[in-house]
Amino acid sequence: MAPVKVSKICCIGAGYVGGPTCAVVALRCPHIQVTIVDLNKARIDAWNSPNFELPIYEPGLEEVVRQARGRNLFFSTDVDKAIREADLIFVSVNTPTKKSGVGAGFAADLNYVESATRRIAAVATTNKIVVEKSTVPCRTAESMRTILEANSKPGTRFDILSNPEFLAEGTAIADLFKPDRVLIGSLQTQEGKDACQSLAEVYANWVPRERILTVGLWSSELSKLAANAMLAQRISSVNALSAICEATGANIDEVAHAVGFDSRIGPKFLRASVGFGGSCFQKDILNLVYLSESLHLPQVAEYWRQVVEMNEYQKRRFSKTVVDTLFNTITGKHIAVLGFAFKADTGDTRESASISLIRDFLQEKAYVTIYDPKVEEAQIWLDLSEALPTWPLETIKKHVSIVHSALEACTQKEAIVIATEWKEFKEIDWQAVYDGMSKPAFVFDGRMILNADELQKIGFTVKVIGRGDRL
């Protein structure tokens, strides 16, 4: 056996991971044909849009697709053809947290991973390297290998690799161009190491060799969960400190800045906010909780569970601050929420703090106006419907308006809530906003992006997360 020279790649799943990752692979490896497949025809049609109206927003992604699409990058719904032709197959499907059954609320739902694996086994007629790209619980690759081997055709061999992504939405393309590391896990057999080398050769077209880490299969799977859990832990830690700051009169920005100068700690992920969101942090921590409980490690499970609980507490605490500041009631009051994506420079709303805040405001019978520069209206209505399952959509729409500019959102409101750190919110004409608001006018900065002193000079009452009122 020897490493396979990869000439054709198939990626199953055209979402936030598979799309950008394999688009960059195609751009950096013009000698490799890359086909991204998905059963969702509307999503594939968007990737093939003549005007490049792509299904996801990510800075730099359109430029990558423009350069590679039609050359060696293709998007298709013909899953079987792409599987048959590929030397290497990325499985990059969604792995949401289970909503029912054993492990509901904690364990990952691997239905899509299993379906993709069974499809590969049913269709493949030649040897394949199958790469687990989705974020999965430890030892998922073992299940995939069992399915493939039990259903493979005579003479067809499958090698399983783990190649987790470490992308941050909003900087995914930059992360892919210059990754901190590329992690590839394999079985420590000769065949496994050869397959690992084949994938490493693909990345070596643009990633320095010293940044391509090769480890055991199970270590690779756990490393992804561990990295996200420890990053989320830092956010929850600084958010816990922000509550103390507000109670004592300290400033969390100053505290985090001072702590970040410690070379053992460093400054990253020490910015307080209304809470973390996204597709990975909460899901991966809950995965660790479930794994720990399954391994009969209740203290470990409780430790990681508290990271998520602190995040939920931060959202509830911020909602309560809004209500308390607005004279202990927001019933019938009009509030502008600026930002619905879970962070700036993405249209992703998964686990967004905005959803929790707006749900709380609506349950207090407030009226909410939402503006976000990248999130589609249909996605907002879907997220709010899921957050308020007992409310008919018609009822939600009586209390919620979606507008297309920040200034429009803020007109004739009692309060403005900054929920996402979009750059344009720093550049709003705040004097014009103040002139068009009901008085007294309140601003609640949940992302620490505004100049509170300047706003106060205009006349606003400003509440910034992590900053106390005491001297």
Binding-site residue positions: 13-18, 38, 43, 93-97, 134-135, 169, 280-283, 350
State yes or no: cis peptide before 440, omega within 30 of 0.
yes
Beta-strand ranges (E) seen in 242-312 are none
What one-character DSSP code corresponds to residue 185?
Answer: E
**Positive or negative CA dihedral for 109, 79, 120, 222?**
negative
Per-residue b or e along 378-415, where b marks 16 or more CB atoms closer than 10 Å to that residue's CB: ebbeebbeebbeebeeeebeebbebeeebeebbbebbb
Task: Give the bridge partners for 336, in sequence order.
Answer: 369, 416
Listed residue (279, 329, 283, 327) closest to 304, CA to CA: 283
Q: Which positions are catalytic?
A: 280
Residue 134 phi, psi dihedral angles, 5° rounding: -65, 155
414: Cα within 13 Å, side-chain hemisphere? 15
Neighbours of 427 (CB within 10 A): 9
> Cα–Cα distance between 199 and 194 in angstroms, integer?
9
Q: How far is CA 470 from CA 235, 249, 317, 407, 457, in A?
A: 24, 4, 18, 32, 19
Per-residue b or e along 428-460, where b marks 16 or more CB atoms closer than 10 Å to that residue's CB: bebeebbeebeeebbbbbbbbbbeeeebeeeeb
Q: Which parts are annotated binding residues for NAD(+)?
A: 13-18, 38, 43, 93-97, 134-135, 169, 280-283, 350
Residue 421 phi, psi dihedral angles, 5° rounding: -90, 45
- DSSP 3-state assignment of 73? strand
> Cα–Cα distance between 17 and 31 in angstroms, integer?
22
**Positive or negative CA dihedral for 134, 136, 138, 141?**
negative
- DSSP 3-state assignment of 61? helix
246 neighbors 467 (Cβ within 8 angstroms)? yes
> Cα–Cα distance between 201 and 127 in angstroms, integer?
18
Contacts for 444 with CB less than 8 Å, ≥ 6 apart: 318, 321, 322, 325, 415, 416, 417, 418, 462, 463
Q: Which amino acid is at 308?
A: V
